[in-house]
Amino acid sequence: MKKSVVLFLFLQPLVWGKVKFDLQEAISYALEHSPTYLQAKKQLEATEARARKSTSLFLPQVKLQGQDILRKKVFTVEMPPFFPGDRPKKVKMDFTRKYQFGLNFTQPLFTSGKLSASHKMAQLQAEAARWDLLQKKNNLVFQVKKAFYSLLLAKKMLEIQRDSSRIAHEHYLQTKSLYEAGAATRFELLQARVNWQNTKPELLKAQNAVKLARLSLGNLLGIEADFDIEGSLDFPPLEISLSALEEFTISHSPTLRAMAARRKAASQSINLARSQFGPTVALSFDYNFRAENFNFNANNWEDYYTLAVVVSLPIFSGFSRIEDIREATSQYYSAKYGEEALRQGILLRLRSAYKRALEAKASYLSAKETVKEAREGLRLAKLNYREGLINTLQVDQARLSLKMAETNMFNALYQYNLALAEIESISGYQFGGEK
């Protein structure tokens, strides 16, 4: 049902024109259409198929084989003479039949751990692929959030610039009225007009920033139609401590869990290499029947069978088995050290993102209070200018202070949301959701 709703949402432009969607709808659409993520899903399916295939190694192998001999050359045997002075005789002996069928049944009984190690390796590789897919999903969600937040920020910066331009225009009109009434100088009028005109290039720059951010999000989602987004930059609480987040990451990070599964698979490759030194035991049963003419007369077919226990013990293989063990051991320690290096790298990224979140949080809370003061300062500046207590430069300074305060506030809020999204991508922790 959800997929149908998302598809209907993105087909809206064909009917009504511009499409609108929120963050969750953008994420759902990306997960259903991203080539990289869909490729990873197919790779997981292939790996899981190999894991299921490894179970068949424990089961008996049964095959039926038949043949129709089209042409043959029989054996010629030279028989010694039965009487003195007699010559040896050559006799042709045919041990074959034109139609031959065989049924073979083989069941491995003991393989020195080879089948068990192969099965465990396949299962662990499938587990690693599942964690890889989850990490690719987290990475894609982070990319969508980053592009979505960037568009929200660009739209908010455009809104701030429009407000600043509107305020500058209102001040110019106020100064013009005072100038016409003889209460303001021509210099103040020109200065107010220049300040207003200077906002136009900045407004154009903010409009282009929105277009570029929308284009970036559209390219990520693969949307060519005109669209817009709904939502706002929220301020979710940072409830978890860094130490608790590190502990959660070590035990839940998809990247680390995938690497741990690969390390375990590498340890099974050592067992697989060692199993080459042990014997293998299998039960084999062969049932064969043959005839010169193809008909279903019971007396026409002759049959025979064998039941055997087959034991195989490799003696010498040119030292290749010893090198296989060395190779598998090296791969295991490579995976082990790689896992530790990856763990340290992930924790470093996590700490960096957490500190950026704390810094952005403090900046946002501080800027939020500054915005209130700047708005009040602008209100007082307008009143004082009307009373002739301050000049136009001071009014414009109050306008610019408000613009800077609002810009700093929303930039900090953007950085805070981006840091939380990165923490979610790294650790698998979900702020305000299921852990």
pLDDT digits (tens, 9 = 90+) for 306-337: 999 999 998 988 888 899 999 999 999 999 99
CA Rg value for the chain: 40
User: Could you report how far apart the first and last alpha carbons of the chain are, in Å?
Assistant: 25
Centre a 10 Å sphere on the Cβ of residue 374 and count the other Cβ atoms it contains: 21
Instruction: Tell me what the mean pLDDT of segment 380-396 comes to.
Output: 86
Q: Are 356 and 429 in contact (CB under 8 A)?
A: no
Span 94-136, pLDDT tens digits: 767 788 889 999 999 999 999 999 999 999 999 999 999 999 9
Cα dist from 399 to 204, 374, 384, 394, whole Å: 19, 8, 14, 9
Q: Are 271 and 91 in contact (CB under 8 A)?
A: no
The span from the CA of 146 to the CA of 221, in Å, is 12
Q: Would the pLDDT of 266 be above 80?
A: yes
Q: Are 364 and 235 in contact (CB under 8 A)?
A: yes
pLDDT tier at 16 (50, 70, 90 boundaries)? very low
For residue 433, the model assigns a pLDDT of: 55
Tokens 């009984």 sit on residue: 109
Instruction: Give helix 242-252 / helix 320-386 axis angle, nearest 10°.
Output: 140
Q: Are 213 and 147 in contact (CB under 8 A)?
A: yes
Q: Are 284 and 310 in contact (CB under 8 A)?
A: yes
Those residues whose C-beta lies under 8 Å from the C-beta of residue 222, and which sit 6 or more positions away, are 33, 34
DSSP for 357-407 reads: HHHHHHHHHHHHHHHHHHHHHHHHHHHHHHTTSS-HHHHHHHHHHHHHHHH
Please state the length of the chain: 435
Instruction: Tell me what the mean pLDDT of segment 254-259 comes to.
Output: 95
Q: Report if pTM > 0.85.
A: no
Those residues whose C-beta lies under 8 Å from the C-beta of residue 104, and which sit 6 or more positions away, are 61, 62, 63, 64, 65, 284, 285, 286
Q: Would the pLDDT of 208 be above 90?
A: yes
In sign, the C-alpha dihedral spanning 81, 82, 83, 84 is: positive
Write the burial class of residue 74 (CB in 10 Å: 0-12 exposed, 13-18 middle, 19+ buried): exposed
For residue 127, the model assigns a pLDDT of: 94
For residue 5, the model assigns a pLDDT of: 42
pLDDT tier at 82 (50, 70, 90 boundaries)? confident
Return the HEC string of 348-367: HHHHHHHHHHHHHHHHHHHH
Write the burial class of residue 324 (CB in 10 Å: 0-12 exposed, 13-18 middle, 19+ buried): middle
Cα dist from 57 to 61, 109, 362, whole Å: 9, 11, 60
